[in-house]
Structure 1
Amino acid sequence: MNAQLYLITPPDVGPDFAHTLGQVLATTEVAAVLIQRGEREDDAYVDVANALIPIAQKAGAAALLDNMPEAVKRTNADGVHMTSAAKDIAKVVKDLKPNSIVGAGGIHSKHDAMTKGELNVDYVFFGHLPLGKTDDEFSAEELAIWWAETFEVPAVCFDQENTDLNTKFEFRALREQVWQSDQPAQTLAIIAKGNS
């Protein structure tokens, strides 16, 4: 099957990134956009989110906040991506679902996946948002394939080297592969077309 696209914004963009995001989403269908928080303070992050959320939603993509569940309703985001402990994610699920999406990240082992995957989340996310190598026992790709073959909760796989959409899991997350290009809209379109 072909995985749907899950696009992660760069961690350091400002509200003016809305123009670039709009261009990219105009060329290729994307299922979800994770507005990455990076090192921003709360107010600065909300400013960026308020600029990007309408752009994502206009293109038919779910706009997700990064570990800021308390801002989902006031920003009109579609949901939140959580990388905290299972007990914190369980509270967010209770507070926000079924009206909002809650995704679980911070998963680096099969045990993590099973613990967070049983919390009634909408997806489990494999891979590290910070750049750099990891010492995980399994790669994000290996974990996502194992999960998709075994469980029903959708899997998102973020492997900074891989753009293959012909996979066993439901969502392929992309960031550097798109934004480091001189022409991100064209690059994303090529990735999608090359896998169709």
Structure 2
Amino acid sequence: MSAELFLIAPSDLPADRLLAALGAALAAHPASAVLLQRGELAENAYKALVKAVAPTAQKAGAAVLIEGEPGLVRMLGVDGLHVSGGIKAVREAVSALKPSMIVGVGDIGTRHDAMQKAELDIDYILFGPLSGAISEPERELAQWWAETMEIPSVLSDPSATIEKRDAGGSEFIGLVLPEIGT
């Protein structure tokens, strides 16, 4: 089974460069989801970025996921929320968005943490960093999850490219734009 693409958009790219990279990537490689990272962007700047980029991804059939508060998901017309916080943040997102919207989690450090968050009716669990390099323990945790659990997993490997990627059994492989080799 080949892993589906889960594209990760860095927060430090201007909207025009991000749109160009995303358009090229989606034209060459269909993706299931696009995560628009907020990073250090102010709320209004992030909203503007999401409004500029989301239609391109959605038109290509990719679900658009954002970071932040659950209320932004409906306000911005995106498909779901990626939660990097603790159990309380995951509960709030699930309560506000499920069942009609996607709720995924990241920032997983242990098997226990992964199982606790997975019990909350999430749609996916992301292992690994959103930027930088994935560690071997993160890769092993993702592989264990993919072999053991039913909730889909994303192996986020920001250093991978479209040509050189290994999802380690996960259903999705997280690759960073524009470095995916477009």
What TM-score does the superposition give when structure 1 sets the normalisation length?
A: 0.84
Q: Structure 2 counterpart of 1:12, which letter? A: D
1:108-127 CA distances to partner (integer Å, 9 max, x unpaired)?
Answer: 11111111111100001101
Letter in structure 1 aligned against 2:152 = P
**Aligned residue type for 1:61:** A
Alignment of 1:4-43 (within 5 A): 4-16=4-16, 17-43=18-44
1:67/1:83 contact within 8 Å kept: no
The gaps in structure 2 that reach 5 residues or longer are: none
Whole-Å separation in 1 of the counterparts to 2:134 and 2:15: 30
Gaps of 5+ in 1: 189-196
Distance 1:169 1:133, change over 3 A: closer
Q: Quick one: which of 140, 154, 157 aligns to 1:156?
A: 154
- Would you say the 8 A contact 1:6–1:174 is kept in 2? yes
After TM superposition, give the deviation of residue 47 of structure 1 in Å: 0.4
User: Could you tell me whether the CA contact under 8 Å between 1:5 and 1:172 is conserved in 2?
Assistant: yes
Q: Structure 2 counterpart of 1:66, which letter?
A: E
Match of 2:98 in 1: 97
Give secondary structure in 2 for the equivalent of 1:34.
Answer: strand
1 CA distance for matches of 2:158 and 2:59? 27
> How much does 1:139 deviate?
2.2
1:2-151 matches, cutoff 5 A = 2-16=2-16, 17-131=18-132, 139-151=137-149
TM (normalized to structure 2)? Answer: 0.90
Report sequence identity in percent: 41
Evaluate the alpha carbon distance shift between residue 167 and residue 2 of structure 1 in structure 2; reply closer, same or farther with a 3 A threshold: farther
Distance in 2 (CA, whole Å) between partners of 1:12 and 1:160 is: 15
Contact 1:2-1:167 within 8 A present in 2 as well: no
